[in-house]
Amino acid sequence: MWKYRVSFAALLVSSALAYADERPDFSKLDRRILKEPVYTSPKPLYGLLVFGPNADKRIWMVLDKTKPDSSSYDVLYFDRNADGDLTASDKRLVANGAPAVFTLPELMDPATGARHTNLEVRLSGDQPTAMVSLKWRGKMKMGGGYPPDPGVYMCLSAKPETAPVVWFQGDGPFSFQRWCGGKLTIGGADDLKVFLGQLGSGPSSFCAFQDHVLPTGEGAQATLIFTDQEGKERRQVCPLKERC
Amino acid sequence: MLYYGPVRVPTQAKSGKAIVRVELPKESKFQSLATDIEVELVKDKPK
């Protein structure tokens, strides 16, 4: 039993290390904001979008209010040119109606110069939660702010240091996030559902393709790595070819 | 959009934690980083 525990722990650690080598280290992300406006709300809320293969080009977004006592956030400061200065007049977006939706017709990728279109920051609920979406290179829709289970989507933070980070990187390589976790039955064949996109940092920060980027007939591949009754590691490959 | 399919758990599997490693097939024109998802294997699911 102890041997099984050690070997399984080693597998988890080695997997995590291998994975860590390939992904940007979000813990080292520069979270400074060069210049901020005077906010109206006593509690502005911060979120961070990052771009590029190294996730090092940053676009801050900060939710604010038109009146200090407003019940909902209806202003968004959005650092559209990624220079760290949120005080320029064209970076202040005001929502029309409720729930608040902020839009930009086009956004230049600060890492590659590619043109993304239909940027939208949509708020829901009282907390509020936020979903950030755009059409990657004007073609494939991506959305950031997904939790691993239905429930609370991305919540912005009262401090830049703890702001959730969404990584928009539609050119890959891609990662996955499970949707609707649950136990798998031994001897059974339960469905496993995954999003395709990029892992961010912080709760509910996965950025997923909302269009099918993979060609018809192509899916992901899942390999179940488990131990048998004798403690030996076994693998079972299962294609994930269905889509919805 | 979601990709999904049945994950068959052999009867000789031991109950407890396991890993599902998800990636794109090697023949895909897209690249992926293998993503390890921790799962729990159980003999019978609670109803």
Per residue, the 3-state secondary structure of A36-76, as one string, reads CCCCCCCCCEEEEEEECCCCCEEEEEEEECCCCCCCCCCEE
Please report, for chain B, the start and end positions of each structural domain, with discontinuous segments joined by +. Answer: 14-47
Lookup result for tokens 């994950």: B7
Q: How confident is the model at residue B46 (pLDDT cuts 50, 70, 90)?
A: low
State the Cα–Cα distance between residues A77 and A93, nearest whole angstrom.
Answer: 6
**How far apart (Å, rounded) are the C-alpha atoms in residues A86 and B2?**
35
* B34 → chain A, closest CA residue: A175
The two three-digit tokens of residue A197, written as one number: 């996109």
Q: ipTM score of the complex?
A: 0.95
Q: What radius of gyration, in Å, describes the C-alpha atoms of chain B?
A: 14
Q: What's the rounded Cα separation, in Å, for the pair A184 and A171?
A: 32
Cα–Cα distance between A164 and A161 in angstroms, integer?
9
Is A183–B45 a contact, with Cβ atoms under 8 angstroms apart?
yes
Mutation to test the B interface, candidates A149, A169, A178, A212, most B Cβ within 10 Å: A178
Number of domains present in the structure of chain A: 1
| Percent of the residues in chain A that have a pLDDT greater than 70, as a whole number | 91
Residue A45 within a domain: yes
Provide the residue range defining the domain that includes A68.
Answer: 2-215
Q: Residue A222: inside a domain, yes or no?
A: no
Residue to substitute from A8, A184, A199, A230, interface B, most B β-carbons within 10 A: A184
Please check whether residue A223 lies inside any domain of the structure.
no
**Residues of B with CB below 8 A from A184's CB?**
7, 9, 18, 39-42
Which residues, 6 or more positions from B17, have their beta carbon under 8 angstroms from its beta carbon? A8, B38, B39, B40, B41
Strands (E), chain A: 45-51, 57-64, 75-78, 92-94, 101-108, 115-124, 129-136, 140-146, 165-168, 175-179, 184-185, 189-198, 206-209, 220-227, 233-240, 242-243
Per-residue pLDDT of chain A (244 residues; tens, 9 = 90+): 444 444 444 444 444 434 445 789 999 999 999 999 999 999 999 999 999 999 999 999 999 999 999 989 999 999 999 999 999 999 999 997 888 999 999 999 999 999 999 999 999 998 899 999 999 999 999 999 999 888 899 999 999 999 999 999 999 999 999 999 889 999 999 999 999 999 999 999 999 999 999 999 899 999 999 999 999 999 999 999 999 9
Spatial neighbors of A24 by CB under 8 A, at least 6 apart, are: A50, A54, A55, A56, A167
Helix (H) or strand (E) holding B32, with range, is none
Alpha-carbon gap, residue A20 to B35, rounded angstroms:
11
Interface check A195 vs B, CB under 8 A? yes
- Report in angstroms the alpha-carbon separations of A188 from A141, A150, A160, A191, B42: 35, 24, 45, 10, 10
Q: What pLDDT is stored for residue A21 in this prediction?
A: 53
Q: What is the pLDDT of residue A120?
A: 97
Is-cis flag, bond preceding A37, omega within 30? Answer: no
Query: pLDDT value at position A98?
Result: 82
